[in-house]
Amino acid sequence: MEYRNLGRSGLKVSVISIGAMTFTEKGWRSAGTMSFSEIQRVVDYAIDHGVNLFDTADIYAFGESETLLGKALGNRKNDVIIATKVRGVMDENDPNRRGLSRYHIIRSLDESLKRLGRDYIDIYQLHWWDNHTPIEETLETLNDLVREGKVRYIGLSDFAGWQIARSVSIQEMRGWSRFISAQMYYSLLGRDIEFEVVPACQESGLGLMIWSALAGGFLTGKYSRDSGIPSDGRYARMERPFLRFDMEKGYFVVDELRKIAEKYNATVSQVALNWVKSKPFVSSIIIGVRSLDQLKDNLGSVEWDLSEEDIEYLDQITQPVRPYPQWFLDMFADL
């Protein structure tokens, strides 16, 4: 296993980490279901093969994911890094059981600790921005939790570039605990973060933890023009098309990945993950699996690297259109 520093912190994380959104026996949104016995096999195999970071959230199956992760980790739960998140709606009937208010953060943290069977969280993350709570209130609360020892590090998820810059600048001015990580969607079919988010993270010293590096399963190679999207797959179960890309472009990229995979005796998934791994701003790739076989396949992307030629080719065929003001700034970059 390869380990990388998480941003400018001294914390080293495995380049492949486990996302626990699929850890639910009851089922939740697009996650499907997983038996606890399979969850246990996935967790044990991951740890035995060097994975040291597990990511979950209070909202995943309304706490069941945290509970099952804590149960599966057992007496090894203090030997790994556990990251969880806060922000989502935990009770539709209570307006204070959501968001990033001091009230909700403190209550949600205590509940997450209880479900995980721990007295601290390694990385506590803001799941997404809250338009209804002053960011100063949120950041001061996180600082207090770090000072109390309930949280080791703090991170964010799904923020815009300006939101990252504003948050970090406030932390710097107030002398509060700084974010060390940003969890973001990034894949060959979704490279939007390269324009604003990645520069903001690099400037602020945040390491990127990537979710859905396989574009909701589309880049596994199991989808084709002929077969279309199977109804039992995760991509088809997504209730809102938040992984947006041109389908024809997607099929073309999968075709090219398949050609490259043959050169390395690898799978399409492994090539797609290897491309993400090649990016220096990526600290860890969070994979969400529903079986041990999927985990084994994904871990097969670690011990080898794509050639510079293949990386450049994949860069080229998936290059997004540079929006304004990027293209304007490019014109005068050398002046």
The range of the structural domain enclosing residue 135 comes to 3-331
Give the CATH number, domain containing residue 215. Answer: 3.20.20.100
pLDDT one-digit tens code per residue, 13-26: 999 999 999 999 88
pLDDT band for position 121 (cuts 50, 70, 90):
very high
Q: Which pair of tokens denotes residue 186?
A: 């990034």
Closest listed residue to residue 220, CA positions, set 124, 102, 300 = 300
Contacts of 59 (CB under 8 A, 6+ apart): 85, 87, 88, 89, 90, 127
Contact 111, 58 (CB under 8 A): yes
Q: Which pair of tokens denotes residue 166?
A: 């504003």
Which H or E element spans position 330? helix 326-331
Q: Which pair of tokens denotes residue 146?
A: 């770090």
CA distance 180 to 288: 22
Percent of the chain residues topping a pLDDT of 70: 95
Percent of the chain residues topping a pLDDT of 90: 86
What is the pLDDT at residue 295?
98
Q: Which pair of tokens denotes residue 307?
A: 């050639």
pLDDT one-digit tens code per residue, 256-285: 999 999 999 999 999 999 999 999 999 999
233 to 120, 267, 310: CA distances (angstroms): 35, 18, 29
Closest listed residue to residue 121, CA positions, set 177, 162, 171, 78 = 78
User: What is the CB neighbour count within 10 angstroms for residue 96?
Assistant: 11
Contact 303, 34 (CB under 8 A): no
Strand 3-5 and strand 12-14: the pairing is antiparallel
- Count how many domains the chain has: 1
User: What is the CB neighbour count within 10 angstroms for residue 66?
Assistant: 27
CA distance 278 to 94: 44
**Averaged over 220-242, what is the pLDDT?**
68
Sign, CA dihedral 45-78-214-89, equals positive
What is the pLDDT at residue 32?
81
Please check the confidence at residue 113 and state whether its pLDDT lies above 90: yes
Contact 120, 151 (CB under 8 A): yes
Catalytic (active-site) positions: 60
For residue 179, the cross-strand partners are 154
Burial of 71 (0-12, 13-18, 19+ CB in 10 A): middle
What is the pLDDT at residue 18?
98
